[in-house]
């Protein structure tokens, strides 16, 4: 059985950092392989994980559409046939499997840029099936989403066992988290459990922040402290998965992962 963990939150709150630390925890403490899906168009989870990134799913999709024979523009391309008679689904599956970046007990698929002009419904349907098929080969799937949740159901039809909404320790960040919490109920994907964490906390959280947290319809897992050693890694471009196990950030994330996977 595959356990899917999805990260959500507004831009810049640390979803990718949490994703990297969660993957580090899984490969050190849980059996089975891990698949990381970078669903943010900026595609920088690979740097956190210390992996090269040659192709993204978005680039594969656009390359496929360029090859499709059509006389009626992009919409026709989405519905047309591949040269040589290969199905679009088989082509996507082969290319995406070939594009997987391989780590030590974990792999990475980067979604990359969004769609261009035209209708992509048929292509996205095939993409979803391919990603879901590949995901079924892994014990854990960690999805680092772009801001919000609008595109999660376009990435997967799988149930999400654990959704973690990340906020910074600000009132505005928590308001955004509250909106995301409400949005999860309208997704085509079933979210079994949803949680809130606060990232980059300096000491104890102020009372107004704690009060706002108590009003949000999410289970509060706790706060991750701000850490200068993590910032040093960021400045030097070093993979965050190389942070020591004694890092306060890693220890906080590990405790949260133990809680949700108990």
State residue 2's pLDDT score: 94
Distances (CA, A) of 122 to 89, 110, 145, 152: 10, 20, 22, 17
CATH domain 3-260 topology: Rossmann fold (3.40.50)
**How many C-alpha atoms does 106 have within 13 Å on its Cβ side?**
30
Burial of 250 (0-12, 13-18, 19+ CB in 10 A): buried
Q: Which of 25-39, 145-159, 239-253 has the lowest mean pLDDT?
A: 145-159
The mean per-residue pLDDT over the stretch 223-244 comes to 90
Q: Which of 43-57, 99-113, 154-168 has the lowest mean pLDDT?
A: 154-168
- 13, 168 contact by CB (below 8 A): yes
Residues β-bridged to residue 219 = 195
- 115, 64 contact by CB (below 8 A): no
pLDDT of 40 strictly over 60? yes
Burial of 11 (0-12, 13-18, 19+ CB in 10 A): exposed
Among 215, 218, 225, 217, which residue's Cα sits nearest to residue 169?
Answer: 225
pLDDT tens-digit map of 177-231:
999 998 888 887 889 999 999 999 999 999 999 999 999 999 999 999 999 888 8
State residue 72's pLDDT score: 46
- Average pLDDT in the chain: 87
SS3 assignment, position 18 = helix
Share of the chain above pLDDT 70, in %: 87
State residue 163's pLDDT score: 95
pLDDT tens-digit map of 73-114:
544 455 566 766 788 888 889 999 999 999 989 999 998 876
Pinpoint the alpha helices (H) of the chain: 15-29, 45-49, 57-67, 73-79, 88-99, 121-135, 152-155, 171-183, 207-215, 228-236, 248-260
State residue 223's pLDDT score: 98
pLDDT of 261 strictly over 90? yes
């Amino acid at each position: 059985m595959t356990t899917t963990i999805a990260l959500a939150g507004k831009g810049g709150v640390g979803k990718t950092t949490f994703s990297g630390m969660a993957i580090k925890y899984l490969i050190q403490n849980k059996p089975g392989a891990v698949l990381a899906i970078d669903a943010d168009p900026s595609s920088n989870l690979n740097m956190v994980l210390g992996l090269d990134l040659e192709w993204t799913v978005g680039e594969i999709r656009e390359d496929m559409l360029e090859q499709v024979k059509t006389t009626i523009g992009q919409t026709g391309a989405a519905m047309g046939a591949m040269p040589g008679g290969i199905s679009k689904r088989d082509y996507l599956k082969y290319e995406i499997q070939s594009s997987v970046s391989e780590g030590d007990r974990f792999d990475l698929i980067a979604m990359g840029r969004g769609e261009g002009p035209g209708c992509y419904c048929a292509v996205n349907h095939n993409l979803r099936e391919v990603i879901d098929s590949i995901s079924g080969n892994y014990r854990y799937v960690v999805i680092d989403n772009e801001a919000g949740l609008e595109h999660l159901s376009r990435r997967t039809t799988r149930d999400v066992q654990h959704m973690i909404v990340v906020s910074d320790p600000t009132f505005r960040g928590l308001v955004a988290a509250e909106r995301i919490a409400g949005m999860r109920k309208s997704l085509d994907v079933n979210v079994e459990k949803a949680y809130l964490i606060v990232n980059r906390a300096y000491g104890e959280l102020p009372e107004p922040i704690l009060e706002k947290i108590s009003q949000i319809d999410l289970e509060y897992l706790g706060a991750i402290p701000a850490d200068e050693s993590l910032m040093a890694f960021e400045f030097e471009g070093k993979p965050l998965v190389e942070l020591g196990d004694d890092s306060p950030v890693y220890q906080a994330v590990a405790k949260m992962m133990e809680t949700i996977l108990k």
